[in-house]
Amino acid sequence: MLKTERSEALGNEPISTLLIKQAVPASIGILVMSLNILVDTIFVGNWIGSIAIAAINVVLPVSFFIAALGMAIGIGGSSIISRALGANDKSKALKTFGNQITITLLLTISMVILGLVFINQLIPAFGGKGDIFEPAKIYYRIVLYGVPVLALCMMGNNVIRAEGKPKFAMIAMIIPSLGNLILDYLLINILDMGMEGAAWATTASYICCFFYVLWYFLSDNSELKIDVSHFGLDWPILKEMSALGFVTLARQAVVSLTYLLMNNILFELGGEASVTVYAIIGRMLMFALFPVLGVTQGFLPIAGYNYGAQNYDRVRQSIKLAIYYACGVAVLIFIAIMAFPEAIVSVFTQDEAVLRDTPWAMRWVFAAIPIIGIQLIGSAYYQAIGKATPALLLTLTRQGFFFIPLVLILPNYFGELGVWISFPIADTLSTVVTAYFLWRETRLKLD
């Protein structure tokens, strides 16, 4: 069966043009999603209070981890789909997509049930203590209902991108973001529903996204037309998808563990105000890095398709250009953060303690951002070509191997400063390690 013109473009168009076409819609989608999180935080902070910001930050690692199951399955399966389309194996692509849907539903629904059963244990464990507990519990319960839908959306978004349809993937990211902002205004500001309003706005926005993704795959825009036979689990595909998806899942698990540690360490060092400082910086990390993450998302299907087609020269070109673009925009982000941290923080809250402590902490956290593109592209490359083990190890270097040990050790000697300087140290060390392995790979395997 012939490949569509759009998927063939991944192997034919100039890399520079193709990377821009893939990365710009991905960046816009991530930008809107990040703006959603950012503005959501601003709304919550100004309409409910600074404690509400900390409460949402406590819930994020749990809901994000369950939703990350969908992202992991999406990225793991999409690597297979991209390479299958590159090798003109349509039947494998269809079977992979069907398996993605089945396993996403099975895993996320099971995790939601467990998450609700152990609600009173999980919230305090992730830093929901003192005045943070009750608003966190309200938000957690409602948002968790919509997490399986979010997981399906994240899985489907990566499959859309694997087909070479970045604009549709962009729209799938924009819909829940805009929906959440509109519903935030109605439910929090107009109807005065507080934390319940914030939570229902988030859940309803996931449902809107799901209906769009469902429409895409049922329409003529998608070349992946599955039937009932594709939903049956296929062990070889499931094994490969799980190995590759575990890279993303492990990364999100480490992120959730990082939130757990940071919320608890900062609560002990500075109380609710310090947890709020981290919540604001965390939102800025999601928002400010949107173009770097967009380049990474755009790079994945290009590298995977051309590796599947054994066009290694194009793979090398895509690596070089992706790193060049990612590091270039990261430098611009670095300059903006270093120049205007006070103005940025004042948008979120007028709490004096938060306004005082956040700018200097933010400067430390973003200190090594100019080189972060090397680490992201390097780990993404191994995932794109189906090499799960090096992808996993390189993905975990930044937060797992370096940041977590640093944040457990340095605060004992430097207090809260030790928390913030752990970020640039971990970024630098992980980038050096990734650069070495990527250099060796391009010299030995892609010549």
pLDDT tens-digit readout, 270-291: 888 888 888 889 888 877 888 8
Confidence of residue 9 (pLDDT cuts 50, 70, 90): confident
- Mean pLDDT of all residues belonging to the chain: 85
The gap from C-alpha 332 to its chain's centroid, in whole angstroms, comes to 21
Higher pLDDT, 128 or 221: 221
The residue behind tokens 């997509």 is: 97
Digit-coded pLDDT (tens) for 343-376: 888 887 777 878 888 899 999 999 999 999 999 9
pLDDT value of residue 447: 62
4: pLDDT strictly greater than 60? no
pLDDT value of residue 362: 93
How many other β-carbons are positioned within 10 Å of the β-carbon of residue 118? Answer: 12
The identity of residue 381, as a single letter, is: Y
For 70-199, strand residue ranges (E) read none
The gap from C-alpha 307 to its chain's centroid, in whole angstroms, comes to 24
Question: Are the C-beta atoms of 69 and 111 separated by less than 8 Å?
Answer: yes
51: pLDDT strictly greater than 70? yes
Degrees to nearest 5, angle at CA 117 with 111 and 119: 95
pTM greater than the 0.75 cutoff: no
Query: In 3D, which of 66, 93, 81, 252 has the Cα closest to residue 158?
Result: 81
The identity of residue 23, as a single letter, is: A
Instruction: Tell me which of 3-7, 110-114, 240-244, 425-429 is least confident.
Output: 3-7
Output the DSSP codes for 217-282.
HHSTT-S----GGGGS--HHHHHHHHHHHHHHHHHHHHHHHHHHHHHHHHHHHHHHHHHHHHHHHH
Digit-coded pLDDT (tens) for 66-85: 767 777 888 888 888 878 87
Rg (CA), the chain: 21
Instruction: Tell me which of 306-310, 397-401, 408-412 is least confident.
Output: 306-310
Residue 277 CA to residue 127 CA, distance in Å, equals 14
Question: Are the C-beta atoms of 161 and 300 separated by less than 8 Å?
Answer: yes
Question: Are the C-beta atoms of 357 and 273 separated by less than 8 Å?
Answer: yes
Query: In 3D, which of 334, 294, 292, 346 has the Cα closest to residue 424?
Result: 334
pLDDT value of residue 305: 84
The residue behind tokens 């349809």 is: 165
Output DSSP code: residue 13.
S
Higher pLDDT, 172 or 23: 172
217: pLDDT strictly greater than 50? yes
Degrees to nearest 5, angle at CA 341 with 288 and 201: 50
Candidate ranges 132-141, 326-335, 350-359; pick with highest mean pLDDT: 326-335
Residue 334 CA to residue 346 CA, distance in Å, equals 19
pLDDT value of residue 6: 55
Q: Hey, is 349 helix, strand or coil?
A: coil
Higher pLDDT, 202 or 367: 367
331: pLDDT strictly greater than 90? yes
Higher pLDDT, 42 or 356: 356
pLDDT value of residue 413: 93
pLDDT value of residue 73: 86
321: pLDDT strictly greater than 90? yes
Question: Are the C-beta atoms of 93 and 170 separated by less than 8 Å?
Answer: no
Question: Are the C-beta atoms of 48 and 198 separated by less than 8 Å?
Answer: yes
